[in-house]
Amino acid sequence: MSARQLKKLKGYDQTTELKKMMGVGSESEEEAAPELMKPPKKKNLGFASLIHDMPSEDEEEEPEEDLAPAAKVVPNSKKSKKKNKKKKKAAQKKADFDSILAEFRENQEETSKESIDDLIVRKMASCLRIDSKFLDPDAELKRIFGNAAVNADRTQKKGRQHQRKLRGSILVNGNSQGPVISGGLGCSEDEKQQKGGDVTWWKFSHNAEYQKMQGIFLKAIKGHDHEALMVILRKSPSHADATLALSDTCRLQDDTNASKELLERLLYLLEQNLHPRCSIGSGKNRFDYNRPENRPLFGALFRYCQLSARRGCWRTALEQAKLLLSFDPIKDPLASVLLIPLYAVRCGQFHELIEMEQELAHRNVESMPNWCLAIALAYIYLDQQGLAQQRVEECLKKFPGLLLKVLSAIQAEPGPEIATSPFFNSDEGEARKLLYELICQREVDLWKETKAQQVLTSAAQSIVALQLPASKNRFNKVPPQIMRHCILSDASVSNLRPEESYLFDPYPPRAADQVVSYIPVIPTEDSTLRGFNSIAESFLQSLVPGFEDMPRGDDADGNPNTHIQNVMDSISAMLDQMRTVRGTEGANENAPNPLEEDGEDEFD
């Protein structure tokens, strides 16, 4: 390699070297020239990299200059200044680089935290993919039985009342509901939850009037005053908890139609009061169950899902269960994941069920007995008997106490080897017994088919041949999600319902976990809102003038019966006026009486 090429590689500038030799140029030029004329460094390869590592002639001469007298060390001070400047610049660049790295790490951590919900959305694509066209139970009934099955009922309703065109709704049929009344309900973004990504957390809110009515509602619930619920809804038609509680009362009295109408009214009210940016069917909207204002949405949708299943609308029930899961797929406060396998098998979504099992692996659904049995049923319907028997064997090994309960529910006699097996007679605790009770209550008829019984019997005989010892694992602690699920499913299990649990709010979260925006003030007897004690008082309100203005409680003289006496006096005065009117009418016998034709009373 020639000397000219070597000089070019080293950044050699001939003009600058001539100026140095001739002593031409100012000090400022000496400082600025090397920086200006020096070309950018290139990455050297091969022998050029070795030459780059060799010290230059100037660097070899620097020690000789350092040995010169102090009077001649003026240029060295300038060089030291340049070196200090370079060191400062290098340190500053390093500090800037470190700060950039630190900021990058913080952004990465924030991004990783923010993308947890987004990762769940991607992993649970099938579970959170909701098809809104399957959320209408009437549409499913039309597909099964034809238009006549649904249109007949709608024709009767149209004859009774006028139907108006209302805003669309994906949860219920909006045209069958009344106009939207906010009534103190609101919806906004939940600032307590972490923001970021495509997932958004929302919360319902109550205004001052609604909060006052909430205290009256709690007083009526604790006093088991169901009549007061009707009065509350008359004064506040949009009260969510009162509507939900009254729907449960109608359901317990076997009035299914009234319960269904109240649930649809509540779901329509909640959906129409959502924030405009909250697209509830997208699977990317979350609600915190720890907020009491959000719980009516969970409870109403869970009950409506069960009602759709009772009507035979299994595909609708499946989509509603998936929608309920999308509100909080991590915590799943009502254990809606227990509903999905049953409804998927009922509506024939076998491949989707197998796919959802893989997506819900982080929820350990393979450790749930109903999921194990549902996957086995899916393989049976797909004519894969070998895989079905394998899944049943795995299920019975994990849950040995399930076999005898299922055989008893389908009224099948177990063989003597199975009945006396210590493995299948293991005591596994209350938690698993509760899950077995749910399976026998809802899924047992699926195992009455011949193919299913053959697979179940073959799997049981294979396990008996292994002669496994009795299981010593006891699971007595019931998770709160399963507890709420059982209460809402009317599971006949004793000694599991807590004292502070109601149907409108089953097994509420611990006080430390709840996010309370306000504490309802429960009124006392003296400060109770007038007209909420009984239907009799409501009747007296309409008859006795000034009944609402009468004082409540003890009077100034300390006599508690003064209020009752005032009511009786008012009724007596009203009856005297009625007798006077009747006497006046009786005096004129020839006067025509227009009410005699219909046989009705004057006050009808």
Backbone φ, ψ for residue 307 (5° rounding): -65, -40
CA separation, residue 263 to residues 12, 161, 187, 311, 380 (Å): 87, 20, 19, 15, 36
**Residues in CB range of 356: below 8 A, 6 or more apart:** 126, 127, 340, 344
- What is d(CA 174, CA 186) in angstroms, rounded to the nearest whole number? 19
Which pLDDT tens digit goes with each residue over 293-338?
Answer: 999 999 999 999 999 999 999 999 999 999 999 999 999 999 999 9
Residue 114 and residue 197 in contact, taking contact as beta carbons nearer than 8 Å: yes
pLDDT at 457: 92
CA dihedral (568, 572, 574, 575) positive or negative: positive
139-166 per-residue burial string, b: 16 or more CB within 10 A, e: under 16? bbbeeeeeeeebeeeeeeeeeeeeeeeb
The token pair that represents 239 in the structure block? 């009260």
**Domain ranges in the chain?**
544-586
**Residue-averaged pLDDT of the chain:** 76
**pLDDT tens-digit map of 11-69:** 556 666 655 655 555 444 444 444 444 455 545 444 344 444 444 444 444 444 444 44
Rg of the chain's alpha carbons, rounded to an integer? 40
Give CA–CA dist 500/512, Å, rounded. 15
- What's the average model confidence in pLDDT over 558-580? 61
More confident residue, 264 or 124: 264
Query: Judging by DSSP bridges, how do beta strands 185-189 and 200-206 pair with one another?
Result: antiparallel
Flag whether the pTM goes above 0.75: no
Q: Which two tokens mark 550?
A: 């009468």
Whether residue 224 has pLDDT greater than 60: yes
What tokens appear for 94 in the block? Answer: 């390093």
Contact 297, 291 (CB under 8 A): no
Q: How many CB atoms lie within 10 A of CB 188?
A: 11
Residues 6 or more apart in contact with residue 37 via CB below 8 angstroms? 13, 15, 16
Burial zone of 433 (CB within 10 Å; 0-12 exposed, 13-18 middle, 19+ buried): middle
Q: How far is CA 287 from CA 284, 295, 298, 323, 328, in A?
A: 10, 9, 9, 12, 6
Confidence (pLDDT) at 538: 54
